[in-house]
């Protein structure tokens, strides 16, 4: 499944509506730490391994396209 993801920093939340995910993270966007936290949170929410969550585009953006393989 492909999702559009909007990231907000310094907040802690996860909202999913249709194929849009709004997620808040505590990690700073330094050396991929924010992306790692996003992958971990989404994997936990969907009950899949982190290896099944892929950032397709937007690695350095607050707007991302993420694929979750179930």
Identify whether the C-beta of residue 39 lies closer than 8 Å to the C-beta of residue 50. Answer: yes
pLDDT tens column, 21-65: 999 999 999 999 999 999 999 999 999 999 999 999 999 999 999
pTM (two decimals): 0.93
Q: For residues 51 and 43, what is the distance between their CA atoms, to the nearest angstrom?
A: 8
CB 19 within 8 A of CB 40: no
Q: Which domains can be identified in the chain, with CATH numbers?
A: 2-68 (3.30.1200.10)
Question: Taking 90 as the threshold, does the pLDDT of residue 70 lie above it?
Answer: no
For residue 39, what are the contacts with CB-CB under 8 A and spacing of at least 6? 50, 53, 55
For position 18, what pLDDT does the model report? 93
Q: What is the pLDDT of residue 21?
A: 98
């Amino acid at each position: 499944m492909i999702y559009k993801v909007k990231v907000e920093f310094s907040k802690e939340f996860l909202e999913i509506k249709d194929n849009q995910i709004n997620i808040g993270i505590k990690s700073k966007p330094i050396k991929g730490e924010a992306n790692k936290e996003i992958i971990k949170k989404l994997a936990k929410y969907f009950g899949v391994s982190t290896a099944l969550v892929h950032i397709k585009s937007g690695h350095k953006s607050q707007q991302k396209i993420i694929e979750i393989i179930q």
